Amino acid sequence: MASPIDVPALLRRLGIDSESTNAGAYDGAFTHGDGGELVSHSPADGARLASVAQATRDDYERSVRTGLETFDRWRMLPAPQRGEVLRQIAEALRASKDDLGALVSLEMGKVLSEGLGEVQEMIDIADFGVGLSRQLYGLTMHSERPQHRMYEQWHPLGTVGVISAFNFPVAVWAWNAFIAMVCGDVALWKPSEKTPLSALAVCHIIDPVLERTGWRGVLNCVIGDVDEVGEPMLDDRRLPLVSATGSCRMGKIVGPRVAARLGRSLLELGGNNAIIVLDDANLDLALVATAFGAVGTAGQRCTSTRRLLVQKGVAAELTERLVKSYSSIRIGHPLEDGVLCGPLIDGDAVTMFTDAVARIRADGGEILCGGSAVDRPGHYVEPTIARVPPDFAFAKDETFAPILYVMEVDDLDHAIRVNNDVPQGLSSAVFTDSMRAAERFLSHAGSDCGIANVNIGTSGAEIGGAFGGEKETGGGREAGSDAWKAYMRRQTCTLNWGDDLPLAQGVTFDV
């Protein structure tokens, strides 16, 4: 079916021309790269949206140089004034929220309320960054030496490389770039090749603000092939930090490569998130949280619920209610009212889904509902529930699709063991009315994930907390709390205001 909105008009409002090839690099100026045409199609119906002229290694070089030159000036601007530039970016995003949210839905496939929610997340982190610009605190310590003062302060790092995934095509960049810029860094963005237009639209939204404030060159972007603009970041000593969001496969390349030059990486990788439902849980809450977590964004969130670990006493009832609720979930174009499940990102993702279902069946799992691709233009699949034993080996892999494994567990201890028995460690949740069970789940002997929730599902984090996960999820933390420290370097300073030079630890050195 045709798109419910006038797509060329939407793109035009966001600075994108659907008729001709658009710039693929932005470093204060928009440049058409020589890296070939990258066409973006909507996963909703396969329609061509627009194309970009991909950036090459030369564009990458130019953008890095622009960033370095800008950094020399930007780091000298007081942090609250950097925050003021970000405040104006937040205003620009507010003005474009509806359009950018719609484009994210069209290009990535998430339903409109989630597309709008993603832009709201950008606005939220911008607002957070504005406040943070007055709170980049360091500690003071008591020196052991008389008439000495010791304290620590935080300095900007330089250029931060930001590699982002397709499933959050704009918000993840904002988490990184907005905090980095407030910290005094400049950011160079390599967006996903699957969502180039969303990135380009963001550049068009922020450009007038950067121009007006005189700060073009602080936020730069290269849309291009991994070989041309992705991998160069990994080996580039001019980028002290590379923040990379994506699959564990990608993280296993990025981490060692950046480490080989003793650079820093901040890795936000795959998840395999479980909701535990105990016998005493409020099943109404658990049902909605599980359905949203498993089906929202068509199962393409890093925090999507992939495993439901349900205690024996409520397993049959909850499973039956879930299967029933799945039958009322409308699959369809993400911009259509009432649709809860949009498409997967592309044909490969559909193949991955059907292969996974075949593997589940072959390994003895029982498909309770769904399990097929949907026969219509676009890349749609049915939300799927599979009943499998708790030690089902294939469930340890992240399949980036709406497949929920239901596993029956004996008790909380058993559930925690199963929760933790996967390579990834991003998000987790327990549903229970028992304070003791909740505290046990949250304790150091409980969930081993970076996110642990009680009576809330695994997906839909707020920006105020530090976001990220353990084990193969990569260990990085982004967004709120003190995650800003990853974008700065710490300096410990000791000042002597006395007439003597006492040495630490009572050491003497008389000359």
Kindly list the catalytic residues: 268, 302
User: What type of residue is 461?
Assistant: A
- Six token digits for residue 32: 């058409």
Task: Enter the DSSP assignment of 331.
Answer: B
Q: Return the number of the residue (231 or 279) whose C-beta is nearest ligand NAD.
A: 231
What percent of the residues of the chain are helix, what percent strand, and what percent coil, each to the nearest 5? 40, 20, 40
Task: Enter the DSSP assignment of 471.
Answer: E
- Determine which residue in the list 268, 382, 408, 472 makes contact with ligand NAD, applying CB under 6 A: 268
Candidates 39-47, 83-91, 167-175, 331-339; binding stretch for ligand NAD (CB under 6 A): 167-175
List the x/- string, 13-52, binding to ligand NAD by CB under 6 A: ----------------------------------------
Candidates 55-63, 122-130, 250-258, 279-287; binding stretch for ligand NAD (CB under 6 A): 250-258
Q: Return the number of the residue (27 or 398) whose C-beta is nearest ligand NAD.
A: 398
Interaction between residue 274 and ligand NAD (CB under 6 A): no
| Shortest distance in whole angstroms from residue 222 CB to ligand NAD | 11
Q: What are phi and psi of 302, to 5 degrees?
A: -65, -25
Interaction between residue 459 and ligand NAD (CB under 6 A): no
Which residue sits closest to ligand NAD, CB atoms considered? 246
Q: What are phi and psi of 38, to 5 degrees?
A: -110, 115
Q: What is the 3-state secondary structure (H, E, C) of 209-254?
A: HHHHHCCCCCEEEECECHHHHHHHHHHCCCCCEEEEECCHHHHHHH
Q: Return the number of the residue (83 or 425) whose C-beta is nearest ligand NAD.
A: 425
| Shortest distance in whole angstroms from residue 272 CB to ligand NAD | 9
Q: Return the number of the residue (198 or 432) whose C-beta is nearest ligand NAD.
A: 198
- Determine which residue in the list 129, 255, 263, 271 makes contact with ligand NAD, applying CB under 6 A: 271
- Determine which residue in the list 59, 99, 398, 472 makes contact with ligand NAD, applying CB under 6 A: 398
- Determine which residue in the list 83, 230, 263, 296 makes contact with ligand NAD, applying CB under 6 A: 230
Q: Which residues contact 458 (CB under 8 A, 6 or more apart)?
A: 271, 273, 274, 275, 293, 303, 304, 305, 426, 427, 428, 429, 451
Candidates 12-20, 48-56, 185-193, 306-314; binding stretch for ligand NAD (CB under 6 A): 185-193
**At which residue do the structure tokens 């800003």 appear?**
484
Residues 411-440 binding ligand NAD (CB under 6 A) are: 426
Interaction between residue 400 and ligand NAD (CB under 6 A): yes
| Shortest distance in whole angstroms from residue 314 CB to ligand NAD | 29
Count CB atoms within 10 A of the CB of residue 351.
Answer: 13
- Six token digits for residue 139: 């500690």
Candidates 189-197, 276-284, 290-298, 328-336; binding stretch for ligand NAD (CB under 6 A): 189-197
Candidates 128-136, 164-172, 363-371, 428-436; binding stretch for ligand NAD (CB under 6 A): 164-172
Nearest-angstrom CA–CA distance, 304 and 342: 14
User: What type of residue is 172?
Assistant: V
Nearest-angstrom CA–CA distance, 330 and 350: 18
Residues 465-484 binding ligand NAD (CB under 6 A) are: 469, 473
Contact 161, 267 (CB under 8 A): no
Interaction between residue 250 and ligand NAD (CB under 6 A): yes
Q: Return the number of the residue (226 or 285) whose C-beta is nearest ligand NAD.
A: 226
- Determine which residue in the list 59, 114, 121, 193 makes contact with ligand NAD, applying CB under 6 A: 193
Helix (H, G, I), strand (E, B) or coil at 509: coil
Interaction between residue 270 and ligand NAD (CB under 6 A): yes
Q: What is the 3-state secondary structure (H, E, C) of 253-310?
A: HHHHHHHHCCCEEEEECCCCEEEEECCCCCHHHHHHHHHHHHHHHHHCCCCCEEEEEE
Nearest-angstrom CA–CA distance, 206 and 395: 41
Nearest-angstrom CA–CA distance, 24 and 56: 9
Residues 358-387 binding ligand NAD (CB under 6 A) are: none
Number of residues forming the site for ligand NAD (CB under 6 A) = 30
| Shortest distance in whole angstroms from residue 316 CB to ligand NAD | 31
- Six token digits for residue 202: 């963001």
Interaction between residue 269 and ligand NAD (CB under 6 A): yes
- The alpha carbon dihedral of 434, 438, 443, 447 has a sign of positive
Q: Which residues make up the interface to ligand NAD (CB under 6 A)?
A: 163-168, 172, 190, 192-193, 226, 230-231, 234, 245-247, 250, 253-254, 268-271, 302, 398, 400, 426, 469, 473
